[in-house]
Amino acid sequence: MCRYVVGRVLQAVVALLGVTCVVFLLVSLSGDPAFILLTPEAGEEQRAAFRELYGLDQPLPVQYARYVSHVARGDFGSSFAFNRPAIQVVLERLPATLLLTATAIALGVVVGMPAGVAAASKASGPLDRLVMALVLLGQSVPTFWLGLLMIRIFAVNLRLVPVSGHGTVLHLVMPAVALGLYLAALLARLTRSEMLEALAQDYVRTARAKGLSERVVTVAHALKNALLPIVTLIGLQLGALLGGAVVTETVFAWPGIGSLVLDAILRKDYPVVLAAVEFVAAAFIVINVALDLLYGYLDPRLRTART
Amino acid sequence: MRVPQEWSAASSGERTERDPEPRPGSPGGRASVGGLGGPFEAPHEIGLRVWRAVGPGGVVVAAVVLLALLAPVLAPHSLGAFDLTHRLTPPIWDARGDWTHPLGTDTLGRDVLSRILHGARTSLGIAGAAVLLAGALGILLGLLSGYAGSWADGVIMRLAEIQLSFPYLLLAIAVMALFKPSLVNLIVVLVLRSWVVYARLIRVVTLSAREREFVVAARALGGRAARILFRHIAPNVVGPSIVVSSFQLAELIIVESSLSFLGLGVQPPTPSWGGMVSEGRDYVGSAWWISALPGLAIVVTVLGANLFGDALRRSLDPRLRVS
């Protein structure tokens, strides 16, 4: 178990280094900051001074080492737009993003999992067909378009909720539903296929043979065993949504990390963009490791099956 | 990420329901190739099977491809045409609409129908090119990874894991922002998303094909690795690849239109469905058709590609055919 934990954490460190490496390369490849940040009138001498100031005249590996040491200390430089540490600007947006993500995931779980269980318990029946049709639809409708339609219908026509922004519970409704429906589709699909598999296992037959009610068999025996992959998906979505709700946040002007990144890009506020990317990637990796360790604990087979 | 294979399939956004990973003790757990037309089938039976493999989704995809190819002929107005005196004309089903602009006009008086038709060329062209490139790259790397094993496998799968440990949309946005949002960069970003899906799937298919009798026999007879790989293993990969391509097309159309919606994909004035939805954003309250109709084009196309993938999988995977 100890070896498993150490191995898993080491892998996470490698992945984190990989992420910083990719981000670093992206920035280095995207052009010479001395040309991007200084005015075109700046002379070659000023550019050279600028490069020296920020260590850009050093070889790439040296620059990378310096970058990693800064990132490790949470130093991403100052935001050009706010003149405050970039990471601080990112973290300020975290509560709004967490609120939206948590609500959407809760909605997805409440709608998606029962739908998947119900579909699997009568596979190929009318309910199954209906659920699968809705899942297909949910995966085929782009979030930004669904969001705009919802604004048109619920905010403009029916005036039930505000068009966009945040502040009250009503502001949360539309973004959470737009995001939650997509998650519900994902979860329903996965729950259904995992349940189909679990329901075909011997222990389910044994449970039925013992005379347990179908409900107990479904929930206590099949669903419990089908749960691990479902929890994985939820965890991964949580990680991805910390930064991946860009589209939803933009459509509804929700002040989370996603919309911050987009604004920062438009303002060419690169320290904020990089801080956000690194932060979200790190959170994503940490959640992943936490999930894996949890499984190692819950399911001993995984500790040895995959080194 | 050390996530067991069948879990990560769903989490990486891949839409295959089950990896074709062989399960211990299940005799049917082998890579599936369902060739059309066995030796004892009458012509009409083959026709039926072709129809089952195509389904309504295939018809929709074919129709959209046809519309895209014929866009310059079918579009009632030319691509650059705008008419400032007829801005925000509603579609024909509205009392104020007229037949010169069947689906209305946008804020610059450009014909929405013509732009949707031309947008089909952009969206399908970009997503299609990305699927082909990602497929070629991913299948090659997957074959290599699955057949060669050892360090090649390690390197390729580590790369895939690093890639999957990035929240994709954020990565795509960062790339498009740091580099110019050009057509080439857009396709590169889409390929980045897709190759992992192919590589991981094909690796598993190759791993299981490698242990089958005819491959073992070929190896025992002294067949060269390249010959075994392309002659005996590669055919097993065709079926799953086609199925995945259909789902990936759907996926990449959504990603491309999301990026274009955010202003980081296809740049105006080139018409793209996502970009058109974005242009109509501020008019959802009044001129809803500018956003709604291109979005509907996305939904129909993506739905078609997803249905097509489902139908293909059902007809190519014998395990799913029993019902």
Asked if A276 and B170 come within 8 Å (Cβ–Cβ), the reply is: yes
Structure-model confidence comparison of residues B236 and A300, the more confident one: B236
| Residue B90: pLDDT over 90 | no
* Confidence at residue B37, expressed as pLDDT on a 0 to 100 scale: 46
Asked if B299 and A140 come within 8 Å (Cβ–Cβ), the reply is: yes
State the ipTM, two decimals.
Answer: 0.84
* Confidence at residue B127, expressed as pLDDT on a 0 to 100 scale: 95
Structure-model confidence comparison of residues A152 and B43, the more confident one: A152
Q: Token pair for residue A140?
A: 């085929």
Count CA within 13 A, CB hemisphere, residue A54.
17
Helix, strand, coil shares of chain B as percentages rounded to 5? 70, 0, 30
Task: Look at A36-45, A133-142, A241-250, B159-168 and tell me which has the smallest mean pLDDT.
Answer: A36-45
What does residue A85 show for φ and ψ, rounded to 5 degrees? -55, 135
Chain pair A-B, CB pairs under 8 angstroms:
160
d(CA A17, CA B267): 33
pLDDT band at A218 (very low <50, low <70, confident <90, very high): confident
Cα B126-B132-B138 angle, rounded to 5 deg: 125
| Residue A195: pLDDT over 50 | yes
State the best of B1, B123, B260 to mutate against chain A, taking most chain A CBs within 10 Å. B1
DSSP type of residue A78: B
pTM of the predicted protein model: 0.84
Structure-model confidence comparison of residues A281 and A90, the more confident one: A90
Task: Look at B7-21, B71-85, B110-124, B257-271 and tell me which has the smallest mean pLDDT.
Answer: B7-21
| Residue B125: pLDDT over 90 | yes
Q: Token pair for residue B158?
A: 């580590």
Structure-model confidence comparison of residues A236 and B320, the more confident one: A236
Proportion of chain A above pLDDT 90, given as a percent: 20
**Residue range B295-308: mean pLDDT, rounded:** 94
**pLDDT 10s digits, B179-224:** 878 899 999 999 999 999 999 999 988 988 888 888 888 888 888 8
| Residue B30: pLDDT over 70 | no
Helices (H) and strands (E) in chain B, counts: 13, 0
3 state SS of B290:
helix
Asked if B295 and A242 come within 8 Å (Cβ–Cβ), the reply is: no
Q: Token pair for residue B135?
A: 């497929």
**pLDDT 10s digits, A94-127:** 999 999 999 999 999 999 999 999 999 888 889 9
Query: Which chain A residues in 272-291 lie under 8 Å from chain B, judged by CB atoms?
Result: 273-274, 276-277, 280-281, 284-285, 288
| Residue B291: pLDDT over 50 | yes
To the nearest whole Å, the CA of B85 is away from the closest chain A CA by: 26
Asked if B178 and A30 come within 8 Å (Cβ–Cβ), the reply is: yes
Q: Compute how many other C-beta atoms are within 10 angstroms of the C-beta atom of residue A255.
A: 19
Q: Token pair for residue B163?
A: 């890639």
Q: Which residue of B has its CA nearest to A305?
A: B4
What integer best gives the mean pLDDT of chain B? 80
**pLDDT 10s digits, A219-244:** 888 888 888 888 888 887 887 787 66
d(CA B188, CA B131): 11
* Confidence at residue B225, expressed as pLDDT on a 0 to 100 scale: 83
Cα B73-B247-B312 angle, rounded to 5 deg: 90
3 state SS of B105:
strand
Beta-bridge partners for A78: A85
To the nearest whole Å, the CA of A251 is away from the closest chain B CA by: 9
Most confident of A248-252, B101-105, B162-166: A248-252
Q: Token pair for residue B239?
A: 């079926």
3 state SS of A35:
helix
**Residue range A207-219: mean pLDDT, rounded:** 86
Asked if A277 and B170 come within 8 Å (Cβ–Cβ), the reply is: yes
Q: Which residue of B has its CA nearest to A226?
A: B7
| Residue B11: pLDDT over 70 | no
B310 touches chain A (CB under 8 A): yes
| Residue A272: pLDDT over 90 | no
* Confidence at residue B18, expressed as pLDDT on a 0 to 100 scale: 41
Asked if B165 and A285 come within 8 Å (Cβ–Cβ), the reply is: yes
**pLDDT 10s digits, B52-81:** 778 888 999 999 999 999 888 888 888 777
**pLDDT 10s digits, B143-161:** 999 888 788 888 888 888 7
B contacts of A242 (beta carbons < 8 Å): 167
Proportion of chain A above pLDDT 70, given as a percent: 93
pLDDT band at B41 (very low <50, low <70, confident <90, very high): low
Q: Which amino acid is at A195?
A: M
First-residue to last-residue Cα distance in chain B: 36
DSSP type of residue A37: T
Most confident of A5-9, A86-90, A267-271: A86-90
**Residue range B46-55: mean pLDDT, rounded:** 78
Structure-model confidence comparison of residues B22 and B166, the more confident one: B166
| Residue A27: pLDDT over 50 | yes
Q: Which residue of B has its CA nearest to A291?
A: B3
A144 touches chain B (CB under 8 A): yes
* Confidence at residue B247, expressed as pLDDT on a 0 to 100 scale: 93
| Residue A286: pLDDT over 80 | yes
